[in-house]
Amino acid sequence: MYTFANPLDRALRTVPDACAVVCNGHRRSYAELAFRCRKLAGALYGLGLRRGDRVGVVSLNSDRYLELYLTVPAAGLTLVPVNSRLAVAEMQAILADSGASVVFTDADYAGASNVSRVLSLPGDYEQLIAGAPERALGESVSEGDVAVLFYTSGTTGVAKGAIHTHRSLVTSGLHFMATWPFDAQTRWLVASPMFHTGGTIGMLATVWAGGTHVMMPSFKPDIALDLIEAEAVTHTLLVPTMLAATVTEQEARPRGIGSLRYLSHGASPIASETLRRTHATFPAAELLHVYGTTEATPIATLLPHEERVIGTPMDRSCGQPAIGVELRITDKAGNELRAGQVGEIVVRSPSLMSGYWNKPAETREAIDDHGWYHTGDLGYQDAWGWLYLVDRAKDMIVSGGENIYSTEVENALAAHPSVSEAAVFGVPDDRWGERVFAIVVTRQQVTQDELILHCRDHIAGFKVPRQIEMRTDPLPKSAAGKVLKRDLRDPHWTGRHLKVAGS
């Protein structure tokens, strides 16, 4: 009985004149926003779209992206936000898998036209809105309808669309609000990319409360601080890389940041030193650590008032299960483990995805018969439910808030004729949390630069190895012939610990 139409409807009825969004200095009230959303809904049906059809978006953050979020699901359609940093081939695969018949984009993603009708932002978009009739939002929409497909890669290297219904996303917003207050005075800085669940985490909460979105098309620390000062930003979510850069900028050229009371971060490992500097630089802000995954929308655990535990062993924790979320540590047989024992982190909540788009086998593997989602992450909880992440079962690297599956990168390397074997893993990186590191066994002469150029043709830039170590001897293997990747990786991590992964 919750739909995406509810938050906007409430804002429209309670704070119609309040500023809903400011983007590049342009402001729109909730009344204007809702009017444009109704016109957009009319335009989408005017394009011939029908209930259940998918609408892709490849774009930087913008007020129009917000309109697409608030319109497409509420009009009975499904939004497919695509990571704009992906290689064209990767985008094509996602748009093809989702079956998006239309894609809105602010750049020249010509490749997308293979599968979808491409409409430009803002050109085609504004023209459509100008000419369209209004269409009511939320009518004949059920809370179990598919609202958004968030694509995530996986161990197989094939992108999977995590199905989020109206209910799962709206519920996730409520879970966030049950921990952090949002009201009509909230000004949420949209700093993280809106194609990730993390970038949308505060959106529904902000709309429901009638607060203001302060849009950053793409992240720059100096612009973030300028906006915090100029727009009196109260809340935001940053990935640790952004956080560290913002702290450095504020140390060098301080702005007035007293309005910022709620500063959350997630999606990547974070160093204690970054936390310490963040608290010193933003002393009035409550720090909140968020751990979750695309499948868990993306709040699984929260650590409110993280500033209170800096310098203690608890600053390596991801916090306790969020209100509304059940979390367990289980062994391979699915039995719950005791405090202190390391096992797989599993999660259950109405905020969970309902499965992977058109992938029943992968869905059954990810969500068991009792509704538990298997994150693939390994960790333990103490006697008070504080979660400590130990490792990722899924062989995933998290760099600057982006998930990178080693298999994807290994496949790209192995496709080069000079490479006979490849092992890819993350190594510690002060700026990005982790960076992609590869060890390749070559069968003939090849340079690191040649391999990197080769990778760029196949996978997104952020997935390309930053360093490649060349070998001619075979990689160490188990008796069963499996590469002992941990033996290769562990020397790089001596004395370092992983704080958090996900999103």
User: Using CB under 8 A as the criterion, which residues of the chain lie in contact with its own copies when the complex forms?
Assistant: 1-2, 6, 9-10, 13-16, 174-175, 177-178, 181-183, 208-209, 304, 320-321, 323-324, 326, 348-350, 371, 381, 383-385
Helix H or strand E segment including 255: none
Question: Which of 254-269 are b and which e, b meaning 16 or more Cβ less than 10 Å from the residue's Cβ?
Answer: ebebebbebbbbbbbb
Angle, to 10 degrees, between the axis of helix 30-46 and the axis of helix 5-14? 140
How far is the first Cα of the chain from the last one, in angstroms, to the nearest whole number?
Answer: 27
Nearer Cβ to its own copies, position 103 or 204? 204
Nearer Cβ to its own copies, position 143 or 229? 143
Nearer Cβ to its own copies, position 135 or 348? 348
Cα(395)–Cα(408) distance, rounded to whole angstroms?
Answer: 11
Least separation in angstroms between residue 181's CB and its own copies is 6
Least separation in angstroms between residue 288's CB and its own copies is 12
Least separation in angstroms between residue 180's CB and its own copies is 8
Cα(72)–Cα(68) distance, rounded to whole angstroms?
Answer: 6
Least separation in angstroms between residue 357's CB and its own copies is 20
Least separation in angstroms between residue 319's CB and its own copies is 10
Least separation in angstroms between residue 16's CB and its own copies is 7
Nearer Cβ to its own copies, position 177 or 498? 177
Is 440 within 8 Å of 419 (Cβ atoms)?
yes
Cα(271)–Cα(337) distance, rounded to whole angstroms?
Answer: 28
Cα(421)–Cα(24) distance, rounded to whole angstroms?
Answer: 48
Nearer Cβ to its own copies, position 13 or 253? 13
Nearer Cβ to its own copies, position 178 or 415? 178
Cα(340)–Cα(83) distance, rounded to whole angstroms?
Answer: 37
Nearer Cβ to its own copies, position 162 or 209? 209
Least separation in angstroms between residue 352's CB and its own copies is 8
Is 286 within 8 Å of 307 (Cβ atoms)?
yes
Helix H or strand E segment including 273: helix 272-281
Cα(407)–Cα(156) distance, rounded to whole angstroms?
Answer: 6
